[in-house]
Structure 1
Amino acid sequence: MTLEKQEQLSQKLVETGKYLLANQLAWGTSGNISARLNDKQMLITASGTEMGSLQPNDFAFVNFETGDWEGDRKPSKEVPMHTGIYQVRQDANVILHSSPFYTTLMASSEEPIVSELFVETMYFLEDVAYVDYFHPGTAELGEAVKEQAENGHVLILRNHGVILFDDSFSDAVMRLETLEMACRMIITAKSAGIPLTKIPDQVVRDFLENARYKPRKRIWQK
């Protein structure tokens, strides 16, 4: 990848971080984001950076096969989660990790996140997987995420938040927005005593299999 393309990618990460903060999808230093550079390297936010004030030099280059890094800034402690995903998902080009309010509330409960609610949830929340709690930044958390990454694009981190991935910035952000919207709906409906009506399974299958929104992104197989 040329220097120009690296700069473009870092700028896209900067813009994404600002968007997440502005739309209450991240807060403070609680999240981290990365993008694939090539078949061995990723660009990830540096340790201690705030999503809303990222600068082009607030990133580190990390070899996601070895964990080695280079650059002026130390990478986020959550490198193990990101490397785990890139190792097993060749279709992962962008990874977002954050703790939005409603998503984290759901992650701290036994309430299930359902996808049969509306158009975007059917598509973007089709394959939600869950990861048990491990301390942030640990190898154990990285291994757990790596294992579950083969089961879904959206990984709910118990009592922590979410990490998700996609092949583009726009779809990764849309997944996060859809997740937070769905969690907000579920919690609001439950607190108001309003029962949610799920879309029937056969309708969901028709929607996904016949690309009535856009082409389906299936679980990647090694």
Structure 2
Amino acid sequence: MFRQPETALRRALLSFARLTYERHLLVGLDGNLSVKLGDAAVLCTRAGCHKGMLADDDLVVIDRTGRKLRGRGEPTSEMAMHLACYDARPDVEAVVHAHPPTCVAFTVAGVSMAQCVLPEVVLTIGSIPTLEYQRTGTEALARLVGDAVHSHDAVMMDRHGAVCVGRDLLEAFCRLETMEHTAKVLLAARQLGQVRELPAHEAASLRALGLARYGGPPSALPGHCQSCSGCGRPSAEGLAKAAGFSVARITGGGSA
């Protein structure tokens, strides 16, 4: 796998950290970002830094156990959560954790964002589960997030914030932006009337199309989405029939 040199990844991490602040996806000292430097090292934001005024010396290099290798200050207190995401899936190269306000409000109100409503979200991100409350910075929270990332590219933590993963920082950041945009659309829909979910057959077709076109989202894999029973949690065969693809293309197996 090609990876950019550390200097380029540092510039990217600084840029996306500032964007999370400028786009009102976090405030003050909230949130943290990280990106793999290789199979054995991770570049992350240090604890207690303002993401809108981030500088190069606010970045810390750690190993895959969380031990600091280089940098000023200490790694973010939520580094265990980032490492759990990397351990969960080898394709994850970057993790962005922020506190998008509308998304967080949904968790405080006890309202799920897991419905299949917007086609582009079903197609590219899939379902967005809300994880049960765990105290920030704990191993319990890290385990919970790591388990969820096995099946999802974006998750909400109750009363806390969002975790988005990607093959690079851009992909993880775009998923974060999409989550907050989706929450705003759902909120407006609830204020105007009611949220109308996509028909079950269309949701299944979009999931299958996402797998065939992009290789994801992982929540579209048979048995991975546990967010609701709206589409009957279809089997591989059901997904394939809905979208007109072979089971092999969906599951990554041989020819069907």
TM-score (ref. length: structure 1)? 0.88
Q: What secondary structure, in the 3-state scheme, does the structure 1 residue paired with 2:202 have?
A: helix
The one-character-per-residue Cα deviations of 1:88-128 (angstroms, maximum 9, x if unpaired) are 11111111101111011012232111352223311243132
Post-superposition offset of 1:190: 1.6
Q: Percent identity?
A: 20
Answer whether contact 2:91 2:167 (CA < 8 A) is retained.
Answer: yes
Aligned-residue CA RMSD (Å): 2.3
Partner of 1:181: 181
Q: Distance in 1 between matches of 2:132 and 2:202?
A: 31
Aligned: 1:203 with 2:202: yes
Post-superposition offset of 1:152: 1.1
Partner of 1:14: 14
Letter paired with 1:146: G
Q: Distance in 2 between matches of 1:16 and 1:77?
A: 19
Partner of 2:228: none
Larger gyration radius, structure 1 or structure 2: 2
Partner of 1:123: 123
Between 165-174 and 212-221, the greater mean CA deviation after superposition: 212-221
Letter paired with 1:210: L
Q: What secondary structure, in the 3-state scheme, does the structure 2 residue paired with 1:57 have?
A: helix
Partner of 1:87: 87
Q: Distance in 1 between matches of 2:211 and 2:36?
A: 29
Letter paired with 2:202: V
Post-superposition offset of 1:214: 4.8
User: Between Structure 1 and Structure 2, how many residues are aligned?
Assistant: 217
Q: What secondary structure, in the 3-state scheme, does the structure 2 residue paired with 1:128 have?
A: coil
Answer whether contact 2:153 2:166 (CA < 8 A) is retained.
Answer: yes
Post-superposition offset of 1:179: 0.7
Q: What secondary structure, in the 3-state scheme, does the structure 1 residue paired with 2:129 have?
A: strand
Over 3 Å counting, the alpha-carbon distance change for 1:177 and 1:218 in structure 2 is closer
Aligned: 1:100 with 2:110: no
Answer whether contact 2:41 2:62 (CA < 8 A) is retained.
Answer: yes
TM-score (ref. length: structure 2)? 0.77
The one-character-per-residue Cα deviations of 1:112-160 (angstroms, maximum 9, x if unpaired) are 1135222331124313233222221112211221222212111211111
Q: Distance in 2 between matches of 1:129 and 1:69?
A: 32
Q: What secondary structure, in the 3-state scheme, does the structure 1 residue paired with 2:196 have?
A: coil
Post-superposition offset of 1:196: 2.4
Post-superposition offset of 1:212: 10
Post-superposition offset of 1:62: 1.5
Q: Distance in 2 between matches of 1:212 and 1:61?
A: 34
Letter paired with 1:39: D
Answer whether contact 2:210 2:217 (CA < 8 A) is retained.
Answer: no
Q: Distance in 1 between matches of 2:212 and 2:8?
A: 29
Q: What secondary structure, in the 3-state scheme, does the structure 2 residue paired with 1:61 have?
A: strand
Letter paired with 1:168: D
Aligned: 1:29 with 2:17: no
Partner of 2:138: 138
Q: Distance in 1 between matches of 2:119 and 2:171?
A: 14
Q: Identify the structure with bigger relative contact order (alpha carbons < 8 Å, sequence gap 6+).
A: 1
Letter paired with 2:67: D
Post-superposition offset of 1:161: 0.9
Which structure carries more helix by proportion? 2
Over 3 Å counting, the alpha-carbon distance change for 1:74 and 1:34 in structure 2 is same
Answer whether contact 2:94 2:169 (CA < 8 A) is retained.
Answer: yes
